[in-house]
C-alpha cells in the first residue's frame, strides 16, 4: 500500500512539473498548446519527434526554449545536400604533440548534445540521414571502430517542410518508424498571431524559466513506464493498431481499400507510452480511451501509407485513422 501511495505522489509531482513546463514554453511559443504537449510527451517518453510545418512557424524557437526549460544542452544542425556524416557525428584528426609524437584525436560533432534539432532532415543525403538515425537508435556513434556514447538523455527533434520537396531525400519508411511522434505545426489563430506580433517585435522578448534538469527528465522517463494502464486501454490500443493493417481480420473496409501498409508493433508501444504522458499533462493518474484517440494521429500517420488509388482520390491518412478510430470505439462501446 505504501508503494502505491508513493507512486501516486510521484506521478502527481511529475504531472505538476510537466504542466509548469508547458506554461513556461508557452511564454515564448505562443498559441501552440497541442504542439507543446506532443513535444513534451516525446521527451518524457524518451523518444524522438518529427515536426512537420512551414517555415516561420517557430519550430527553431520552440526547440531552443525547450532546451532551457528542460535543462538540456541543445544544438542545431541545418541539413543540406553536401552535409556528410562526419559533420554531425565528428571525426578523428591527426594531432602532433609537443614532443613531436603523433596520435589521432576524436573531435566530437554537434550530435554530442542532449537535444539536437535536425533542421530539414530530408535535405541531407540518405548516407547522412542513416548516420543520424543510427545514433538515435543506439545512443552512441562508432568512429574508426571505436564506440563513443552520447550524453544522456539524448533526443532528436527533426523538422521537415511539407510543401518544398524538390531536391530532397524523403526518409524511408523504416527510418520514419524510429520517430516516436509526427508533430504537425499549423498556422496560429488570428488572436494568437496578434499575441505573437506584440510579444516578438518589441524591445524585450518573453523569457521562459527552467523547470527540469537532465537528471529529473531521466527519472521522469522511468516513472512514465511505471504508470498503470487499464486493461480496457490496452485492448483499445491493440484494436486500433491492428485495425489499421490491411488484410487483417480486424481491418475495416476503408483500410483494405485505401491503406498500402499499416503500423507495426512499435506503433502500439508508442501509444502505450504517449497516452501516459498525455494523462500527466491533463493532471490524471492513468490514461483513458480519450488519450488513445488523441494520440492516434501523431503515432500512426508516419507509420502508414496510402495506396496510389487512395492518393489519387484525394484521401488523407488522418481521415483514414479517424474513421478507423471511430469504428473501433463504436465496437468497443457495443461490446
pLDDT recorded at residue 134: 80
Segments forming the whole domain that contains residue 316? 227-335
Encode pLDDT of 92-134 as tens digits. Answer: 787 777 777 777 788 888 999 999 999 998 888 888 888 888 8
List the one residue out of 161, 153, 62, 85 whose CA is nearest residue 119.
161
Statement to judge: residues 52 and 134 lie in one domain: yes
Encode pLDDT of 303-314 as tens digits. Answer: 998 999 988 988
Encode pLDDT of 133-150 as tens digits. Answer: 888 888 888 887 788 899
The residue out of 171, 206, 225 marking a domain boundary is 225
Statement to judge: residues 114 and 211 lie in one domain: yes
Q: In 192-291, where do the E strands start and end?
A: 259-261
Encode pLDDT of 145-188 as tens digits. Answer: 788 899 989 999 999 887 766 667 888 777 888 899 999 999 88
Statement to judge: residues 69 and 169 lie in one domain: yes
pLDDT recorded at residue 333: 64
Is residue 83 pLDDT above 70, yes or no? yes
CA 47 to chain centre: 6
Statement to judge: residues 313 and 335 lie in one domain: yes
d(CA 178, CA 53): 19
pLDDT recorded at residue 164: 67
Statement to judge: residues 299 and 328 lie in one domain: yes
Contact in structure between 157 and 29 (CB atoms under 8 Å): no
Statement to judge: residues 203 and 237 lie in one domain: no
Statement to judge: residues 231 and 185 lie in one domain: no
The residue out of 196, 225, 254 marking a domain boundary is 225
The whole-model pTM stands at: 0.90
Statement to judge: residues 23 and 9 lie in one domain: yes
- Look up the CATH number of the domain holding residue 68: 3.40.50.300
Statement to judge: residues 294 and 200 lie in one domain: no
Grid cell in block for residue 233: 486501454
d(CA 76, CA 69): 17
Grid cell in block for residue 237: 490500443
Question: Residue 112 gets which letter from DSSP?
Answer: S
Statement to judge: residues 163 and 28 lie in one domain: yes
- Look up the CATH number of the domain holding residue 237: 1.10.8.80
| Signed CA dihedral, 258, 265, 230, 235: sign only | positive
Statement to judge: residues 125 and 259 lie in one domain: no
The residue out of 182, 200, 225 marking a domain boundary is 225
Encode pLDDT of 35-69 as tens digits. Answer: 999 999 999 999 999 999 888 888 888 888 999 99
| One-character DSSP codes across 170-226 | PPPHHHHTTSSEEEEEPPPPHHHHHHHHHHHSSSS---------HHHHHHHHHHHHH
Count the domains in the chain.
2
Statement to judge: residues 158 and 91 lie in one domain: yes
Amino acid at each position: 500500500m505504501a508503494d502505491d501511495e508513493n507512486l501516486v505522489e510521484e506521478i502527481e509531482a511529475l504531472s505538476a512539473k510537466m504542466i509548469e513546463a508547458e506554461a513556461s514554453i508557452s511564454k515564448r511559443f505562443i498559441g501552440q498548446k497541442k504542439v507543446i504537449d506532443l513535444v513534451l510527451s516525446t521527451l518524457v517518453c524518451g523518444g524522438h519527434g518529427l515536426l512537420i510545418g512551414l517555415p516561420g512557424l517557430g519550430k527553431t524557437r520552440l526547440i531552443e526554449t525547450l532546451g532551457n526549460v528542460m535543462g538540456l544542452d541543445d544544438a542545431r544542425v541545418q541539413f543540406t545536400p553536401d552535409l556528410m556524416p562526419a559533420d554531425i557525428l565528428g571525426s578523428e584528426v591527426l594531432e602532433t604533440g609537443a614532443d613531436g609524437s603523433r596520435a589521432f584525436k576524436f573531435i566530437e560533432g554537434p550530435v554530442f548534445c542532449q537535444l539536437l534539432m535536425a533542421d530539414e532532415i530530408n535535405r541531407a543525403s540518405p548516407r547522412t540521414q542513416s548516420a543520424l538515425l543510427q545514433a538515435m537508435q543506439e545512443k552512441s556513434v562508432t568512429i574508426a571502430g571505436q564506440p563513443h556514447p552520447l550524453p544522456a538523455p539524448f533526443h532528436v527533434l527533426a523538422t521537415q517542410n511539407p510543401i518544398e520537396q524538390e531536391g530532397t531525400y524523403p526518409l524511408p519508411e523504416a527510418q520514419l518508424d524510429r520517430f516516436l511522434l509526427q508533430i504537425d505545426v499549423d498556422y496560429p489563430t488570428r488572436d494568437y498571431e496578434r499575441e505573437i506580433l506584440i510579444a516578438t517585435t518589441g524591445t524585450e522578448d518573453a523569457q521562459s524559466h527552467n523547470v527540469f534538469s537532465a537528471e529529473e527528465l531521466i527519472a521522469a522517463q522511468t516513472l512514465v513506464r511505471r504508470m498503470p494502464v487499464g486493461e480496457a486501454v490496452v485492448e483499445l490500443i491493440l484494436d486500433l493498431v491492428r485495425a489499421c493493417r490491411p488484410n487483417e481480420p480486424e481491418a475495416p473496409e476503408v483500410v483494405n481499400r485505401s491503406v498500402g501498409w499499416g503500423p507495426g508493433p512499435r506503433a502500439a508501444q508508442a501509444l502505450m507510452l504517449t497516452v501516459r504522458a498525455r494523462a500527466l499533462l491533463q493532471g490524471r493518474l492513468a490514461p483513458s480511451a480519450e488519450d488513445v484517440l488523441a494520440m492516434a494521429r501523431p503515432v500512426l500517420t508516419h507509420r502508414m501509407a496510402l495506396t496510389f488509388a487512395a492518393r489519387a482520390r484525394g484521401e488523407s491518412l488522418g481521415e483514414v485513422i479517424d474513421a478507423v478510430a471511430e469504428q473501433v470505439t463504436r465496437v468497443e462501446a457495443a461490446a
